[in-house]
Amino acid sequence: MVEPHEINWQELSFAYTPTKYMFIARCGADQKWQEGEVVPYQDIPMSPAACVLNYGQGLFEGLKAFSGKDDKIYLFRPEENAMRISEGCERLCVPPLPVEIFLNGISEIARANREYVPPFREESFSQGSLYIRPVIWGTGPILGVAPAPSYTFVIFACPVGAYFKKGFQAIKLKVTTEYFRATKGGTGYIKAIGNYATGMLPAQIAKKEGFQEILYLDTKECKYIEEVGAANFFCYLNGTLVTPELDGRILPGITRSSILELAQKRLGLKVEERKVSLEEVFQSEEAFSTGTAAVVSPVGSIFYKGKEHLINGGEPGPLTKKLFEILVNIQHGFDPDHYGWSQEVCQR
Ligand SMILES: *Cc1c(COP(=O)(O)O)cnc(C)c1O
């Protein structure tokens, strides 16, 4: 276990560094969730017949705790994660986790591990954070394919460094017409654990070929953008910020909805949630992906059928950079939060 004082905050990456405490709550056959409690970080004993290990009945969330300029710790829109995991529970036949239990667990884990929250830094591109990972598993044993008889909710946390240590860098995407992420009626709109293992092979192939991420298309026409790996996609064309509409296949990202709101309210931009074709994207002035991990990642090029299409000459665009800064500045308390997004947890 790494002690907080042993951490070199400047050197932090995205590697997994466990912290001292985790949160745990259980749900038994009565379908009632316990309040839960903070316990020392530990392994979870489980039957080999656990539903999650055999049939993948599990789902997760991801959010961050930040140090503000005032040396207080803040969470960003945690109630959105609470509602999203609740919706996911319904789809996977998991007894819905009450929002209050989720929110209380997040605050408790941030508070218990507060020494692991990277300290505030003056430069917005170099901010680290405490990544918080809530996860629910069907841990009870079962042989037939059916919901587990009991469940476990765990929250663990890991300090992470800034994504763009060397400054804002554009990523290269590869379009795949061979692999797909989600289908109609499937689980693309929730963070079901089973959605992520299937993306590992295409991502691995793309990385070997020198790309950072996969750009997924729709299964039906193989023409419209869905997502970038495990992040949402945006492009800016003809003065409008456009992102694929939530059609049951797209994950409703909290960064996505925050960017949509900021683009309209702070920058007065026109925004559209609709089908976005690959052809349109090639004509875009700027493109980027959004997600909790990187916040905003500029897209520099898109490789499709043997051809590389540059976006904004392969460089991060000015609007992309602006949106990134506006959002990060709200998260770290540089800028006033007019939206009630930041939630104070405690003094660091
Ligand atoms: C988590 C996730 C996102 C981003 O959601 P945020 O709430 O912005 O972190 C986008 N796509 C997929 C597939 C995801 O799993």
pLDDT of 138-166, one tens digit each?
A: 999 999 999 999 999 999 999 999 877 77
Residue 263: the pLDDT is 98
Tell which phi-psi region holds residue 239, choosing left (phi > 0), alpha (psi between -120 and 50) or beta: left
Residue 124: the pLDDT is 64
Return the DSSP state at 328.
H
Q: Looking at the chain, list the stretches that DSSP marks H as alpha helix, in order from N- to C-terminal side.
A: 51-55, 78-91, 99-112, 194-197, 200-208, 254-265, 278-282, 318-331
| Distance from the Cα of residue 312 to its chain's centroid | 26
Residue 332: the pLDDT is 85
- Quick one: 209 exposed, middle or buried, by C-beta within 10 A (0-12, 13-18, 19+)? exposed
Residue 1: the pLDDT is 85
- Quick one: 225 exposed, middle or buried, by C-beta within 10 A (0-12, 13-18, 19+)? buried
Tell which phi-psi region holds residue 152, choosing left (phi > 0), alpha (psi between -120 and 50) or beta: beta
How close is the Cα of 293 to the center of ligand 1, in Å? 9
223 given a catalytic annotation: no
Q: Which residue has the tokens 């000015």?
A: 318
| Distance from the Cα of residue 34 to its chain's centroid | 26
**Of 105, 38, 28, 32, residue with least CA distance to 65:** 105
Choosing from 191, 208, 305, 307, the catalytic residue is: 191
- Give the number of other Cβ atoms within 10 Å of residue 51's Cβ: 27
Residue 333: the pLDDT is 81
Residue 334: the pLDDT is 82
- Give the number of other Cβ atoms within 10 Å of residue 145's Cβ: 9
Q: Which residues of the chain have pLDDT under 50?
A: none
Strands 37-40 and 21-27: antiparallel
**What is the pTM for the complete model shown?**
0.97
End-to-end Cα, the chain, rounded Å = 20
Q: Which of 292, 295, 323, 328 to mutate to test the pocket of ligand 1 (most atoms within 8 A of CB)?
A: 292
Ligand 1 close to Cβ of residue 292 (< 6 A): yes
Residue 218: the pLDDT is 97
Q: Which of 198, 200, 251, 257 to mutate to test the pocket of ligand 1 (most atoms within 8 A of CB)?
A: 251
Residue 344: the pLDDT is 93
Residue 225: the pLDDT is 98
Ligand 1 close to Cβ of residue 117 (< 6 A): no
Three-state SS at 253:
coil
Ligand 1 atom 15: residue of nearest CA: 230
Residue 153: the pLDDT is 98
Residue 162: the pLDDT is 83
| Distance from the Cα of residue 321 to its chain's centroid | 19
